[in-house]
Amino acid sequence: MIILPAVTITLAFVLAVMVTIGGDTKGEIHGIRGSNIYRVVSFFPYVSPAVVIGILFAFIYSPNGGLLNGLLNLPLRSLNALGADVPLVGTAWLGDPRFALGAIILAVVWSLVGFYMVLFVAAIKAIPSEIIEAARLDGRGRVRLAAQVVLPQIRENVSTAVVYMGIMALDMFVYVSVMTPSGGTARGTEVVSRYLYETAFARSQFGLASAMGVVLALVTMLMAVIVLFGDRSKEDA
Protein backbone atom coordinates (compact mmCIF):
# COMPACT_ATOMS: atom_id res chain seq x y z
CA MET A 1 0.00 0.00 0.00
CA ILE A 2 2.96 2.33 0.41
CA ILE A 3 5.63 1.28 -2.07
CA LEU A 4 3.44 0.36 -5.06
CA PRO A 5 1.35 3.58 -5.21
CA ALA A 6 4.35 5.77 -4.37
CA VAL A 7 6.58 4.32 -7.09
CA THR A 8 3.88 4.07 -9.77
CA ILE A 9 2.38 7.52 -9.28
CA THR A 10 5.74 9.27 -8.90
CA LEU A 11 7.09 7.66 -12.07
CA ALA A 12 3.85 8.37 -13.96
CA PHE A 13 3.93 12.03 -12.89
CA VAL A 14 7.57 12.44 -13.94
CA LEU A 15 6.87 10.89 -17.34
CA ALA A 16 3.73 13.03 -17.78
CA VAL A 17 5.71 16.19 -17.07
CA MET A 18 8.41 15.14 -19.53
CA VAL A 19 5.97 14.56 -22.41
CA THR A 20 3.96 17.75 -21.77
CA ILE A 21 6.21 20.54 -20.48
CA GLY A 22 9.63 18.89 -20.32
CA GLY A 23 10.88 20.24 -23.65
CA ASP A 24 12.89 23.33 -24.43
CA THR A 25 12.08 26.20 -22.06
CA LYS A 26 12.28 28.68 -24.94
CA GLY A 27 9.29 29.36 -27.13
CA GLU A 28 6.05 27.38 -27.03
CA ILE A 29 5.46 24.95 -24.19
CA HIS A 30 5.94 21.38 -25.37
CA GLY A 31 7.23 18.00 -24.26
CA ILE A 32 10.48 16.28 -25.06
CA ARG A 33 11.18 15.21 -28.64
CA GLY A 34 9.12 12.16 -29.61
CA SER A 35 6.70 12.63 -26.71
CA ASN A 36 3.71 11.40 -28.74
CA ILE A 37 5.48 8.12 -29.45
CA TYR A 38 6.41 7.66 -25.79
CA ARG A 39 2.82 8.35 -24.79
CA VAL A 40 1.46 5.63 -27.08
CA VAL A 41 4.15 3.04 -26.34
CA SER A 42 3.91 3.46 -22.57
CA PHE A 43 0.17 2.72 -22.70
CA PHE A 44 0.62 -0.67 -24.42
CA PRO A 45 1.25 -2.68 -21.21
CA TYR A 46 -2.01 -1.43 -19.67
CA VAL A 47 -4.13 -2.93 -22.46
CA SER A 48 -2.52 -6.35 -21.91
CA PRO A 49 -4.38 -8.67 -19.50
CA ALA A 50 -2.83 -9.01 -16.06
CA VAL A 51 -2.56 -12.78 -16.55
CA VAL A 52 -0.47 -12.28 -19.70
CA ILE A 53 1.82 -9.81 -17.91
CA GLY A 54 2.20 -12.21 -14.99
CA ILE A 55 3.18 -15.08 -17.30
CA LEU A 56 5.55 -12.82 -19.25
CA PHE A 57 7.40 -11.69 -16.14
CA ALA A 58 7.45 -15.23 -14.76
CA PHE A 59 9.48 -16.18 -17.85
CA ILE A 60 11.66 -13.08 -17.46
CA TYR A 61 12.43 -13.98 -13.83
CA SER A 62 12.96 -17.69 -14.54
CA PRO A 63 16.23 -18.96 -13.02
CA ASN A 64 16.81 -21.19 -16.04
CA GLY A 65 17.06 -19.19 -19.24
CA GLY A 66 15.18 -16.14 -17.96
CA LEU A 67 15.81 -12.81 -19.63
CA LEU A 68 16.89 -11.05 -16.43
CA ASN A 69 19.51 -13.62 -15.50
CA GLY A 70 20.60 -13.72 -19.14
CA LEU A 71 21.24 -9.97 -19.18
CA LEU A 72 23.09 -10.12 -15.87
CA ASN A 73 25.24 -12.96 -17.17
CA LEU A 74 26.33 -11.18 -20.37
CA PRO A 75 29.31 -9.37 -18.82
CA LEU A 76 30.15 -12.44 -16.73
CA ARG A 77 30.26 -14.64 -19.83
CA SER A 78 32.56 -12.12 -21.44
CA LEU A 79 34.91 -12.32 -18.45
CA ASN A 80 34.82 -16.11 -18.55
CA ALA A 81 35.65 -16.00 -22.25
CA LEU A 82 38.76 -14.01 -21.35
CA GLY A 83 39.89 -16.73 -18.93
CA ALA A 84 38.27 -15.60 -15.68
CA ASP A 85 36.37 -18.11 -13.57
CA VAL A 86 33.30 -16.14 -12.52
CA PRO A 87 30.12 -18.02 -11.48
CA LEU A 88 27.03 -17.12 -13.47
CA VAL A 89 23.90 -15.62 -11.93
CA GLY A 90 21.11 -18.15 -11.45
CA THR A 91 18.86 -16.35 -8.98
CA ALA A 92 15.29 -17.62 -8.60
CA TRP A 93 13.78 -14.16 -8.36
CA LEU A 94 10.27 -15.38 -7.62
CA GLY A 95 11.42 -18.16 -5.32
CA ASP A 96 13.58 -16.08 -3.02
CA PRO A 97 11.59 -14.20 -0.34
CA ARG A 98 14.18 -11.40 -0.47
CA PHE A 99 13.35 -10.57 -4.09
CA ALA A 100 9.95 -12.09 -4.86
CA LEU A 101 7.69 -9.27 -3.67
CA GLY A 102 9.90 -6.61 -5.25
CA ALA A 103 9.89 -8.53 -8.53
CA ILE A 104 6.09 -8.63 -8.56
CA ILE A 105 5.88 -4.92 -7.70
CA LEU A 106 8.16 -4.16 -10.63
CA ALA A 107 5.86 -6.08 -12.98
CA VAL A 108 2.79 -4.21 -11.67
CA VAL A 109 4.51 -0.83 -11.99
CA TRP A 110 5.49 -1.64 -15.59
CA SER A 111 1.90 -2.58 -16.44
CA LEU A 112 0.17 0.42 -14.84
CA VAL A 113 2.52 3.38 -15.12
CA GLY A 114 1.40 4.12 -18.70
CA PHE A 115 -2.25 4.46 -17.71
CA TYR A 116 -1.54 6.91 -14.92
CA MET A 117 0.86 8.81 -17.14
CA VAL A 118 -1.96 9.34 -19.65
CA LEU A 119 -4.26 10.38 -16.80
CA PHE A 120 -1.78 12.99 -15.61
CA VAL A 121 -1.06 14.15 -19.16
CA ALA A 122 -4.76 14.93 -19.62
CA ALA A 123 -4.81 16.81 -16.31
CA ILE A 124 -1.69 18.83 -17.18
CA LYS A 125 -3.13 19.69 -20.58
CA ALA A 126 -6.17 21.15 -18.79
CA ILE A 127 -4.04 23.62 -16.82
CA PRO A 128 -4.38 27.12 -18.34
CA SER A 129 -1.25 27.88 -20.33
CA GLU A 130 -1.10 31.35 -18.76
CA ILE A 131 -0.24 29.80 -15.39
CA ILE A 132 2.67 27.82 -16.79
CA GLU A 133 3.87 30.75 -18.88
CA ALA A 134 3.82 33.02 -15.82
CA ALA A 135 5.81 30.47 -13.84
CA ARG A 136 8.39 30.22 -16.62
CA LEU A 137 8.71 34.00 -16.82
CA ASP A 138 9.15 33.99 -13.06
CA GLY A 139 12.32 31.93 -13.55
CA ARG A 140 11.14 28.49 -12.44
CA GLY A 141 13.01 25.56 -13.95
CA ARG A 142 11.43 22.27 -14.93
CA VAL A 143 11.70 20.71 -11.47
CA ARG A 144 10.29 23.72 -9.62
CA LEU A 145 7.61 24.17 -12.27
CA ALA A 146 6.49 20.56 -11.88
CA ALA A 147 6.59 20.55 -8.07
CA GLN A 148 5.31 24.05 -7.27
CA VAL A 149 2.88 24.74 -10.12
CA VAL A 150 1.80 21.60 -11.95
CA LEU A 151 1.43 19.25 -8.97
CA PRO A 152 -0.88 21.54 -6.94
CA GLN A 153 -3.04 22.07 -10.05
CA ILE A 154 -3.62 18.34 -10.57
CA ARG A 155 -3.86 17.38 -6.89
CA GLU A 156 -7.36 15.91 -7.27
CA ASN A 157 -6.19 13.64 -10.07
CA VAL A 158 -3.26 12.48 -7.96
CA SER A 159 -5.59 11.75 -5.03
CA THR A 160 -7.85 9.68 -7.28
CA ALA A 161 -4.82 7.80 -8.59
CA VAL A 162 -3.65 7.09 -5.04
CA VAL A 163 -7.05 5.59 -4.17
CA TYR A 164 -7.05 3.38 -7.27
CA MET A 165 -3.49 2.27 -6.64
CA GLY A 166 -4.26 1.59 -2.98
CA ILE A 167 -7.13 -0.67 -4.00
CA MET A 168 -4.83 -2.36 -6.50
CA ALA A 169 -2.17 -2.88 -3.82
CA LEU A 170 -4.73 -4.43 -1.47
CA ASP A 171 -5.83 -6.83 -4.20
CA MET A 172 -2.85 -8.06 -6.26
CA PHE A 173 -4.60 -11.43 -6.59
CA VAL A 174 -3.96 -12.02 -10.29
CA TYR A 175 -0.27 -11.12 -10.32
CA VAL A 176 0.56 -13.09 -7.18
CA SER A 177 -1.49 -16.11 -8.24
CA VAL A 178 0.12 -16.27 -11.67
CA MET A 179 3.72 -15.48 -10.72
CA THR A 180 3.87 -17.25 -7.33
CA PRO A 181 0.90 -19.66 -7.14
CA SER A 182 1.77 -20.90 -3.64
CA GLY A 183 2.56 -17.51 -2.17
CA GLY A 184 6.27 -17.74 -2.89
CA THR A 185 9.01 -19.32 -0.84
CA ALA A 186 8.12 -19.00 2.84
CA ARG A 187 4.95 -17.23 1.62
CA GLY A 188 7.02 -14.12 0.97
CA THR A 189 4.47 -12.76 -1.53
CA GLU A 190 1.29 -13.68 0.30
CA VAL A 191 -1.48 -11.09 0.02
CA VAL A 192 -4.87 -10.96 1.68
CA SER A 193 -6.89 -11.62 -1.48
CA ARG A 194 -4.96 -14.79 -2.38
CA TYR A 195 -5.05 -15.99 1.23
CA LEU A 196 -8.81 -15.35 1.25
CA TYR A 197 -9.20 -17.45 -1.90
CA GLU A 198 -7.15 -20.29 -0.41
CA THR A 199 -9.10 -20.15 2.86
CA ALA A 200 -12.43 -20.40 1.07
CA PHE A 201 -11.80 -22.82 -1.79
CA ALA A 202 -8.83 -24.90 -0.59
CA ARG A 203 -9.70 -25.19 3.11
CA SER A 204 -13.49 -24.74 2.76
CA GLN A 205 -13.51 -22.25 5.64
CA PHE A 206 -16.12 -20.04 4.03
CA GLY A 207 -17.10 -18.20 7.21
CA LEU A 208 -13.54 -17.11 7.92
CA ALA A 209 -13.04 -16.16 4.28
CA SER A 210 -16.22 -14.05 4.36
CA ALA A 211 -15.00 -12.26 7.49
CA MET A 212 -11.67 -11.60 5.79
CA GLY A 213 -13.53 -10.16 2.78
CA VAL A 214 -15.53 -7.81 5.00
CA VAL A 215 -12.39 -6.60 6.78
CA LEU A 216 -10.63 -6.09 3.45
CA ALA A 217 -13.56 -4.03 2.17
CA LEU A 218 -13.56 -1.90 5.33
CA VAL A 219 -9.81 -1.30 5.11
CA THR A 220 -10.21 -0.31 1.45
CA MET A 221 -12.98 2.18 2.23
CA LEU A 222 -11.01 3.58 5.18
CA MET A 223 -7.98 4.13 2.96
CA ALA A 224 -10.10 5.90 0.34
CA VAL A 225 -11.74 8.13 2.96
CA ILE A 226 -8.39 9.10 4.48
CA VAL A 227 -6.89 10.02 1.10
CA LEU A 228 -9.90 11.92 -0.25
CA PHE A 229 -10.80 13.81 2.92
CA GLY A 230 -7.15 14.53 3.64
CA ASP A 231 -6.87 16.14 0.23
CA ARG A 232 -10.08 18.09 0.78
CA SER A 233 -8.84 19.39 4.13
CA LYS A 234 -5.69 20.68 2.44
CA GLU A 235 -7.85 22.56 -0.07
CA ASP A 236 -9.91 24.13 2.71
CA ALA A 237 -6.74 25.16 4.52
- Burial string for 123-135 (b: 16+ CB within 10 Å, else e) reads bbeeeeeeebeeb
Highest mean pLDDT among 73-77, 105-109, 175-179: 105-109
- Over residues 227-231, the mean pLDDT reads 76
Look at the pTM and tell me if it is higher than 0.75.
yes
**What architecture (CATH level 2) is domain 3-236?**
Orthogonal Bundle (1.10)
Closest CA to 30 of 46, 40, 17, 43: 17
- Over residues 35-41, the mean pLDDT reads 84
Q: How far apart are CA 196 and CA 189, in angstroms?
A: 14
Confidence at residue 217, expressed as pLDDT on a 0 to 100 scale: 92
Domain residue ranges of the chain, discontinuous segments joined by +: 3-236
Confidence at residue 233, expressed as pLDDT on a 0 to 100 scale: 60
Highest mean pLDDT among 23-27, 71-75, 204-208: 204-208
Confidence at residue 30, expressed as pLDDT on a 0 to 100 scale: 79
Highest mean pLDDT among 33-47, 57-71, 79-93, 187-201: 57-71
Question: How many Cβ atoms are within 10 Å of 83's Cβ, its own excluded?
Answer: 6
Q: How far apart are CA 120 and CA 42, in angstroms?
A: 13
Q: Has residue 97 got a pLDDT over 60?
A: yes
Q: Has residue 23 got a pLDDT over 80?
A: no
Residues sharing a CB contact under 8 Å with residue 117, sequence separation 6 or more, in sequence order: 12, 15, 16, 19, 39, 42, 43
Residues sharing a CB contact under 8 Å with residue 150, sequence separation 6 or more, in sequence order: 17, 21, 124, 127, 132
Q: How many helices (H) and strands (E) does the chain have?
A: 12, 0
**Which amino acid is residue 1, in one-letter code?**
M
Average pLDDT, the chain: 87
What percent of the chain shows pLDDT beyond 70?
94
For residue range 126-158, what is the model confidence (pLDDT) as tens digits? Answer: 998 888 888 888 878 788 889 999 999 999 899
